[in-house]
Every structure is written in C-alpha cells, then in structure tokens.
C-alpha cells in the first residue's frame, strides 16, 4: 500500500516517522503529475510546494491554525493532505474539486479568492480575531509567493503585522517566479538571498562545521529550540559575509531563512521554531517551480504554471487549441508598435498569458512589467499618457476589479488616452468564481467618457483595437473572451455610427410599417443587441424563433458604451428589445441601454439575457452558460416566452 493511501487527515501525517516523509513526497508528486495531466490545472506551482506543505501540516494544527494560501492555486498538496486525494479525477470540473481553496469543500480551507497579494491581509484579520476572542496563543499561517509580494496590498498588510505581537507566520515561497520570472527591486533582493543559499550549500567546509557545531551544542545540553537558534545564528554570520543587509529584518520582524524548500528536515526545524516563537515571523523558503518533473522545470515560458491536458511523461500537450483571441491581439499590437513610436505596453506579471511577450521582445524599451500590481499598472499608464504616450494595459478582465479606483480617478478624471485590453472577459468557467470576467462592463461603464468595445470575431478585434488606440481624449476598453476565436461574422450593413447589422428579418430593415403588420398578424419585431462573442448565439436564436412569427433583427454595436443613437433608433421601431451579453444583469450593457432608452422617451419593452447576480461554482464555460440560460437554445426559449407575454399584454382589452 502507498503511504499516501494512509493519509486522510493531518493527524495521519503527524504519525508518520520522519524517515518515511521523503517517500510520501515522491508519491504526492507522482499523483499530481498523473492527475493534473489528465484534467489540466496548476501543475508547476504545486510540484514546488510538496515538502513545504507536508512540513506545515506536520508542525501546525490545521484548521485551528488557519492556513491561507495566496491565490491558493498552490493548495493542491494541502487538499491531498486534508482528505481530498480521492477526488482529484474531478479537479476543476463541475461538481468536483475546485482549483483553489474552497470553503464548501473542507474546514481546512479558509478562503476562496484567486486574486493575488491578499493572503497577508486575511492573516492579519484572522490573527486579530484570535487575539480578541482569547485564542491569541494559536497561529495563522500565510503562504505567499515571491510574485505575490510584488503587489502593494502585501506591504500594506506587512506594515500592520510587523507592528503587532500577534502570531502570524508568513511563509515566503520563493521560486523566483509568478507566471514568469519575478521582476523589480524586491525580486533582485530575493535573488541575492537565493544565490546566497546556493553559495552556502557548496562551501566545502560548511557541512563539516555544521555537524561539528551540532555535536558541540548537544554535548553542552543545547537541544530543540536552543540548538536551532544557535545554528541559525551561525548561518546568519556566514550570510553576513556575503549580503550586508536582509530586507525582511528591516521591517522589524523576526526572519528565518533562506531555508531549502525541498529539505524536509530543514523545513521541520524552521517551522517548529516558528510555532514556538511568540509574535509575527517570516520564514523564507526557497523552492523550485515544477520540482521533480523535468518537463515543467525546463518549460521556459512559465514552468507549467497552468496546463491543459498533457502527456504525464513528456509534458507535451495532447490537444491542440484553435487560434485564440489573445494571439490575434498580439499580432495587431505588434503592427501598431511598428507603426507608432508612442505605443507602450504594460503587464501585471503576465506578459505571456496576455500576449505581450512578443511585444516585449521586439520593443523592450517600450514594455513594462510592474509585477502583480494592477493598481500601479493603471496609474503608471496614466503617467505615461500624461507624458505624451499611448499606453496599452493588458490584463485579465477579472483583475480590472482591483484597479477600478485608478481607472476612475487617475485615468478617467484626467481624460487620458489609456487603452485597457481585457483578456478572459465574460464567463471563463473552470477557474472558478473569482476568475470569471463578467463584471468589467458594469464597472467600467460608469467611468465618465469611457468607450468600451466588445469585438465579436477576430476581424472586429483588429478593427476595434485600432480604433481604440486612435482615441486621444479619454480611456478605452477592448474586451474579449477566453479560448479560441470562431470564424468571422460579416455584417449585412454598417450604420453611420459604426453599428453592424448582422441580420435583417427576410432581408429587409425594420420600418414603422412593421409595427402595424404585427398588430394584424401577431408577428412581433424583436431587436437583439448582441454583445461581443454572443453574436453567433444571437443569430442562432433569430433563426430558431422565426417559425413562431418572431421577426428578429440582430445588431452588434461594436462599441457597447456609450450607447449608439442608431441602436436607440432601431429600438424605437421594435416591439421588444433583447440585450444579449456575457456581462452581469446588474449594471451591464442592458442596464446602459435601458437608461438610454428611458432618457430618449422610448418605451419599447426591454429584456435582458446576461449573467445573474451570483458567484458561480467552477464548471466549463458551456456548462455555465447552459445552467444560467445563456446558451442559444435557452435564449431562444426565453425570447419565445417574452414574446408570448407581450402578445398577451397587447391583446388585453385595456391595451
């Protein structure tokens, strides 16, 4: 029987003898490779924290000592050790294990958000709560990556934690990377400490002196904590000869490290000391992303930070993805970069995933990676714009949430020409609630003077991005979904404001006469305003309901904010307007259209197909759209139902 099969809880782990932990780590690593290869997920980060997580659960008492994993994509080993190993075949699938910590799954999971740099603030609050409720002797453990420490929120939390006497153990999981290598002055200092650890390892006399020191200390009766402190002091003296200062200790906090992150004995000693220590403390652990799986370690782009389905031996992808939206944006940005010297690109630690890496290679002097710091990225972009440049900030849609104040007050108020390109907009699915990009249009649309584009296909993405970077009197947003881009959808007509008419019923534009016809033969004229990639669905709906005497005109506004006068004109001629979008039902494009219609005195009934006011569980994009009535079949049923209601209302004697 595998050792892993005997582990159903941290209590089982604590009973294993030290000499068997190496075998357990190997078994966990092999399980991760096999299971994540089959489902997709965050492979590299979890391979890097196997020993670290084992040691944490051996020393601390979860869930009484809460573990908070920053972004929690590195929590797979934690899930395995807390009784969920048998569920990994369902990872990131509907009804299965979440790819992040999930409060619904286990009492050992305290948070759910997959946004970076928040763990230390959670830990600070939890520690305050323990102190106030008489449990101040317990600990809170925050595992934060060096990449997450590039986010300002971490340092806001450290400022509070360092000034307290609360038992917060901050484990810095330092692998030198977020998605890609960590950048900035902070990263340079961490690299010095990592290099220092490597130098200590290879000093010929170091191991000999350490062993001699251990024997001497034991002969003097120094055991346990005192031994560890003495040896740590010796290591500090060696380090001081190489690195003049240590940035963590300058915060006023106890610092242990750097600790070898794949040495179970070293980790056990460090965490045991941390548990005995009273007050906040930092344990600096150096790990290797993808450790134990050569294809991950050697994967230059991101060391398999997140994978699809792969071969568990070679690491090669087993399914080919169609050309994606991101690659189309990359091509167009490169063209713009060659044509215009004022185009600069900004990423928040995600040059590869957002398609900016090729721009960085060709125009390194016009590319800025600010780390996991979306707030700083947007205000820095405002500064670039004030200096006469046109910044393009490429981030995931979900991460715009973090920079709303900066978009509103630092860019919008100053009416600066900053273009935000939002990847993974709309329903993304398997990454869970906090990665869905359904809130961007609702948030951004309230910024005065902003313009928001939602391209329906690759041709429109190219076109609308070009239009966005040509605008110089305020911010612009170009948003597109995750995954492959479908075939282009040509318009039947482009109206003067730039609105595309994708379908006229019977090939004829709607006119005032249609309304009279509808009264005679019960035919209803419906205007569907399709947003972005929902254009294909909207066309399917129009064909589906035609047999029910519902004449559908489908338009793609292209620029959904502000609402086009041509859209309002067509809405006034229709019997019903349906806004079909992958944003939220509250505050999205439908809300903006309703407000514009009301202001114009247009009383045509409006209905809304959009994402409901909830946080969904993880599932595929298709499953979520079907569950919430946003797939084409469900949408057609809704249109029929609404049309029936309007007919009944029209037929009522008082009408």
What residues are labeled active site?
A: 289, 374, 402
Q: Which two tokens stand for residue 242?
A: 């190489």
Query: Helices 225-240 and 264-276: crossing angle, nearest 10°?
Result: 110
Q: Is 116 annotated as a binding residue?
A: yes
44 is in an annotated binding site: no
Length of the chain: 655
Which residues, including other chains, have CB under 8 Å from residue 105's CB and lie 6 or more apart?
Answer: 79, 84, 97, 98
| Spatial distance between the Cα atoms of 46 and 480, rounded to a whole number of angstroms | 29
* Sign of the torsion angle spanned by Cα atoms 547, 553, 559, 563: negative
- To the question of whether residue 175 is assigned a binding role by annotation, the answer is yes
Interacting residues of 566 by C-beta distance below 8 A, sequence separation 6+: 495, 496, 497, 499
Write the Ramachandran bin of 498: left for phi over 0, alpha for psi from -120 to 50, otherwise beta: left
423 and 482 in contact (C-beta within 8 Å)?
Answer: yes
What is the C-alpha to C-alpha distance for residues 385 and 474, in angstroms, rounded to an integer?
10
Q: C-alpha 573: how far from its chain's center?
A: 42
> Would you say 293 is a known binding-site residue?
yes
Tokens of 159: 């400022």
- Three-state DSSP at 396 gives strand
Q: Could you report how far apart the first and last alpha carbons of the chain are, in Å? A: 76
Instruction: Report the alpha-carbon distance of residue 73 to residue 85 in Å, rounded.
Output: 16
Query: Residue 114 annotated as binding?
Result: yes
Q: Chain-centre distance of CA 42, in angstroms?
A: 12
Confirm whether residue 146 is marked as ligand binding.
yes
CA gap 237, 244 in Å, rounded: 11
Sign for the CA dihedral angle at 490, 495, 501, 507 comes to negative
In 66-178, at which residue ranges do the beta strands (DSSP E only) sit?
67-69, 140-145, 168-174
User: Is 442 within any annotated ligand binding site?
Assistant: no
What is the DSSP pairing of strand 168-174 with strand 254-260?
unpaired
Known binding residue 648? Answer is: no
Buried b (16+ CB within 10 A) or exposed e, 500-510: bbbbbbeeeeb
Cα–Cα distances (Å) from 561 to 66, 449, 564, in that order, read 44, 9, 8
139 belongs to an annotated ligand binding site: no
Q: Which positions make up the binding site for thiamine diphosphate?
A: 73, 114-116, 147-148, 175, 293, 374
Q: Which residues are annotated as a binding site?
A: 73, 114-116, 146-148, 175, 293, 374
Residues that constitute the known binding site for Mg(2+): 146, 175
């Amino acid at each position: 029987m595998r050792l892993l099969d005997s582990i159903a809880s941290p209590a089982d782990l604590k009973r294993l003898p030290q000499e068997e932990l190496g075998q357990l780590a190997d078994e966990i690593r092999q399980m991760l490779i096999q299971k994540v290869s089959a489902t997709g997920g965050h492979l590299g980060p979890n391979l890097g924290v196997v020993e670290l997580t084992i040691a944490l659960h051996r020393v601390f008492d979860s869930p009484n000592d809460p573990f908070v994993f920053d972004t929690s994509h590195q929590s797979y080993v934690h899930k395995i050790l807390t009784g969920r190993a048998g569920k990994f075949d369902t990872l990131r699938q509907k009804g299965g294990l979440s790819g992040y910590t999930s409060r619904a799954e286990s009492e050992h999971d305290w948070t759910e958000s997959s946004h970076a740099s928040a763990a230390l603030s959670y830990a600070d609050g939890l520690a305050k709560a323990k102190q106030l409720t008489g449990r101040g002797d317990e600990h809170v453990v925050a595992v934060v990556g060096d990449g997450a420490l590039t986010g300002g929120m971490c340092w806001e939390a450290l400022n509070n934690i360092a000034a307290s006497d609360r038992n917060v153990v901050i484990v810095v999981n330092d692998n030198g990377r977020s998605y890609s290598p960590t950048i900035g002055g902070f990263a340079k200092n961490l690299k010095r400490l990592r290099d220092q650890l490597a130098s200590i390892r290879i000093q010929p006399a170091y191991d000999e002196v350490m062993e001699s020191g251990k024997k001497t200390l034991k002969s003097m009766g120094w055991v346990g904590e005192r031994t560890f402190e003495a040896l740590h002091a010796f290591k500090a003296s060696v380090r001081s000869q190489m690195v003049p200062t240590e940035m963590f200790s300058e915060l006023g906090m106890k610092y242990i490290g750097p600790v070898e992150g794949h040495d179970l004995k070293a980790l056990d000693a460090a965490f045991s000391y941390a548990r005995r220590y009273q007050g906040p403390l930092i344990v600096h652990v150096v790990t290797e992303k993808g450790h134990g799986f050569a294809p991950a370690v050697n994967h230059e782009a991101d060391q398999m930070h997140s994978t699809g389905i792969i071969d568990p031996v070679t690491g090669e992808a087993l399914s080919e993805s169609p050309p994606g939206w991101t690659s189309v944006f990359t091509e167009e940005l490169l063209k713009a970069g060659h044509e215009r010297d004022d185009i600069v690109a900004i990423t928040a630690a995600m040059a590869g995933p957002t398609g900016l890496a090729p721009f960085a290679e060709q125009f390194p002097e016009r590319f800025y990676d600010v780390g996991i710091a979306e707030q700083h990225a947007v205000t820095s972009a405002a500064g670039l714009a004030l200096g006469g440049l046109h910044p393009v900030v490429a981030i995931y849609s979900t991460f715009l949430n973090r920079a709303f104040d900066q978009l509103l007050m630092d860019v919008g108020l100053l009416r600066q020409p900053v273009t935000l390109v939002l990847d993974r907009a709309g329903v993304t699915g398997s990454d869970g609630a906090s990665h869905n990009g359904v809130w961007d249009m609702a948030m951004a649309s309230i910024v005065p003077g902003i313009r928001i584009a939602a391209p329906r296909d690759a041709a429109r993405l190219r076109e609308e991005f070009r239009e966005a970077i040509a605008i110089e009197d305020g911010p612009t947003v170009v948003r597109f979904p995750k995954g492959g881009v479908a075939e282009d959808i040509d318009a039947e007509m482009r109206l003067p404001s730039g609105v595309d008419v994708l379908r006229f019923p019977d090939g004829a534009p709607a006119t005032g006469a249609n309304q009279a016809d509808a009264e005679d033969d019960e035919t209803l004229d419906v205007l569907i305003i399709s947003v972005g990639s929902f254009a294909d669905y909207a066309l399917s709906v129009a064909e589906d309901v035609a047999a029910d005497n519902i004449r559908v005109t489908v338009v793609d506004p292209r620029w959904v904010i502000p609402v086009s006068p041509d859209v309002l004109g067509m809405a006034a001629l229709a019997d019903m307007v349906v806004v079909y979008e992958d944003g939220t039902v509250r505050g999205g494009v439908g809300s903006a259209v309703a407000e514009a219609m009301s202001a114009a005195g247009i009383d045509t009934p409006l209905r809304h197909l959009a994402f409901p006011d909830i946080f969904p569980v993880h599932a595929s994009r298709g499953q979520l759209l079907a569950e919430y009535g946003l797939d084409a079949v469900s949408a057609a049923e809704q249109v029929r139902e609404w049309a029936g209601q309007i007919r009944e209302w029209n037929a009522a004697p008082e009408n």
